[in-house]
Amino acid sequence: MFLPTDGPDRPRLRDQARDRLRTEILDGSIPPGTRLDDEVLAARLRCSRTPVREALSDLAHLGLVELRANRYTRVTLPRSDELIPTMQALGLLFAGVIRTTVPVLSDEGRVRLFHELGKVLETPAAASARVWPTVASVLYGALVAECRNPLLTTALRGAVDGLTFRLRHDDLETVLPWGLIRAGLVELRIAVDGRDGPRAERASRVIHLLPGRDGSGP
């Protein structure tokens, strides 16, 4: 049952419902494609349907829920044909953050990013795809935490969950060029270790399958 919401510092029912459902979606307790009934959710969460509906609307804006009026409300179902566009969207969103943030990383931030990149690189190549969505979510979150532009931080924090969630598809291993991506990750790790912003940005373009500045391949 949710906490009472009568004090100024108490979380609203809408926020509690959203955070609870977000956690359950991201940890897989509610799998992709699951239909969501606000009445059933309200009974399980022990609140009225209004905060549940508001929470589902919030999650739809984050990209974790799909709302189809008079048809269905369900957890977003990742699609194979969206995997490359999703990687490119992440690359475009984070290119500037990587360029400007890597040179001014705190010691703690540098170590954390270096460690997270190592998780993928230390995983056998055949298993990289399975760990990438989870590691990517943490990696982008760490970059957001280190970003010193509050406007960018606010905008990116809302985009990370929905986009990385769309990478949770069984075809990820076969659709994406993992040899190229891993090479980019090696470069990014070196750039993070040396706080080299331009090198980090170039590596990010490779990882996210973006063309070079001259329009050529990554």
Residues composing the chain: 218
- Measure the CA–CA gap between 96 and 16, rounded to whole angstroms: 33
CB-hemisphere CA count at 13 Å for 176?
33
Q: Which helix (H) or strand (E) holds 67?
A: strand 65-68
CA dist 114 → 11, 110, 190, 198 (Å)? 35, 6, 8, 17
pTM: 0.83
Instruction: Please check whether residue 55 is in contact with residue 18, taking contact to mean a CB–CB distance below 8 angstroms.
Output: yes
**What's the pLDDT score for residue 135?**
85
For 64-89, b/e burial (b = at least 16 CB within 10 A) is: bbbeeeeeebbbbebeeeebeebbeb
Using one digit for the tens of pLDDT, what is the confidence trace for 77-120?
999 999 999 999 999 999 889 999 999 999 999 999 999 899 88
* Tokens 């990209």 found at: 63
**What's the pLDDT score for residue 11?**
60
